[in-house]
Amino acid sequence: MKQQIEVKQRLLAENERAASELRGAFARNKMLVLNLISSPGSGKTTLLEATVAALAQTLRIGAVSGDIATERDADRLRKLGIPASQIITGGACHLDARLVSNHLSTGTWTRLMCSSSRMSVTWCVPRPMIWGKTSR
C-alpha cells in the first residue's frame, strides 16, 4: 500500500535562510563574493593565485576555501599574503550556507574583514549549492 507524505516545508529552507543572512552581511560590508566551482584539479586555486597577483595592489582580497581533507588551497593563497581560511568538510562534497556561516562565526569573518573589503571565495566542489555568494 502506497502512502503519500505531505511535505510542509522546503528541504533547503534553513540553508536558504542562512544564505540570505550571508548575502545581507556581505552587502552591508560592501563585499563582492565570488564562487568558483569546478572539478578537483581544474585550476580554481591557480586562477585565484593569478587574480591575487594581478589585483592585490588595488583591491584587498581574502579567501575561504573548502576541501574534504586538506588546507593546501588556503596555504597556497596565504603564501601570496592574503588572509585565507579553509573549511574542511570531512568528506562532504559540497559546502552549504550553514557551513559557511558557522565557519565565519568562528572569528574568520573578523580576520577577513580587518584586512579585506573584497573577498574572493573558492570552493573545491563540482556542484553548486546556495550559500550566500553575490555571484557565481
End-to-end CA distance of the chain, in Å?
44
Distances in whole angstroms, Cα of residue 123 to Cα of each of 1, 5, 9, 65, 108: 44, 35, 28, 5, 16
User: Percent of the chain beyond pLDDT 70?
Assistant: 77
**Residues 15-43: tens digit of each pLDDT:** 888 888 888 888 887 777 877 877 788 88
Query: Given this model, what pLDDT does residue 117 score?
Result: 40
C-alpha angle 127-128-131 in degrees, rounded to nearest 5: 140
- Domain 13-123 adopts which CATH fold? Rossmann fold (3.40.50)
Domain spans of the chain, in order of start: 13-123
- Reported as a pLDDT band with limits 50, 70 and 90, residue 122 is very low
- Reported as a pLDDT band with limits 50, 70 and 90, residue 118 is very low
- Reported as a pLDDT band with limits 50, 70 and 90, residue 79 is very high
Query: Given this model, what pLDDT does residue 109 score?
Result: 62
